[in-house]
Structure 1
Amino acid sequence: MMTDKIKIAELTSEEARQYLNKDAVILLPMGSLEDQGTHAPMGDYLAAECVALDIARAARAEGVPTFIAPVIPFGGADYFGSSHGGIAISQATLSALLDDMFASLARHGLTKILVINGHGGNVGPINDVSLKWRQKNGMFVASMYLWQISYELLKDILGPEQAAKSSGHGGDPLTSIGLHYYPEILRLDLRQAPPNGQKAMGLEVAGFAAIKYDGARLQAPIEAIESAPHGVWGGDPVHCSAETGKALTDRLVKIGAGFIRDHVSKGFAA
Structure 2
Amino acid sequence: MIEKIRLADLTSQEAREALNAEAVVLLPMGSLEDQGIHAPMGDYMAADLVAVEIARAARGFGIATFVAPVIPFGVHDNFGFGHGGISISHATLASLVDDMFACLTRHGICKIMVINGHGGNVPAIAEVALRWRQTVGLFVPSMYVWQAAFGVLPNLIGKEKAAQSLGHGGDPLTSVGLHFYPHLLRKDLIRPASSRGQVKCMDVSTISTLRYDGVDIHAPIMAQEVTTTGAFACDPSLSCADTGERLVARLAQIGAGLIRDHVARGLHD
TM over 0.5: yes
Alignment correspondent of 1:64: 63
Residue of structure 2 in register with 1:75 after alignment: 74
Percent identity of equivalent pairs:
56
CA distance in 2, matches of 1:233, 1:215: 21
Separation of aligned partners in 1, 2:102 and 2:220: 34
Tell me by how many angstroms 1:205 deviates: 1.5
Structure 2: how far apart are the matches of 1:197 and 1:248? 27
Number of aligned residues = 269
Task: Describe how 1:3-42 pairs up with structure 2 within 5 A.
Answer: 3-42=2-41
SS at match of 2:220: coil
Distance in 2, Cα, partners of 1:269 & 1:81: 35
User: How far apart, in 2, do the equivalents of 1:197 and 1:243 lie?
Assistant: 29
Q: Are the equivalent residues in 2 in contact too, given 1:166–1:235 (CA < 8 A)?
A: yes
Partner of 2:127: 128
Distance 2:127 2:255 in 1: 22
- Runs of 4 or more, structure 1, over 3 Å off, are none
Establish whether residue 259 from structure 1 lines up as the match of residue 258 from structure 2.
yes
TM-score (norm 2): 0.97
SS where residue 258 of structure 2 aligns? helix
**What is the match of residue 139 of structure 1?**
138
Query: Structure 2 vs 1, CA of residues 197 and 185 (structure 1 numbering), >3 Å: closer, same or farther?
Result: closer
Corresponding residue number in structure 1 for 2:100: 101
Q: Distance in 2 between matches of 1:197 and 1:41?
A: 22
Q: What residue is the counterpart of 1:164 in the other structure?
A: 163
**Distance in 1, Cα, partners of 2:41 & 2:174:** 11
Determine the C-alpha separation between the residues in 1 that align with 2:214 and 2:228: 23
Rounded to whole Å, the distance in 2 between the matches of 1:269 and 1:109 is 12
Q: CA deviation at 1:103?
A: 0.6
Unaligned runs of 5+ in 2: none
Answer whether contact 2:196 2:232 (CA < 8 A) is retained: no
Deviation by residue 1:80-120 (Cα, 9 ceiling, x = unmatched): 23211000000011111111110111111111001000000
1:43 aligns with 42
Q: Which runs of 5+ in 1 are unaligned?
A: none
| Alignment match, 2:205 | 206
Change (3 A) 1:269 1:90: closer
CA deviation digits over 1:104-150, x for unaligned, max 9?
11111111001000000000011000000011111100010000010
Q: Deviations over 1:168-188 (max 9, x none)?
A: 010000000001111011001
Q: Does the 8 Å CA contact 1:38/1:192 hold for their aligned counterparts?
A: no
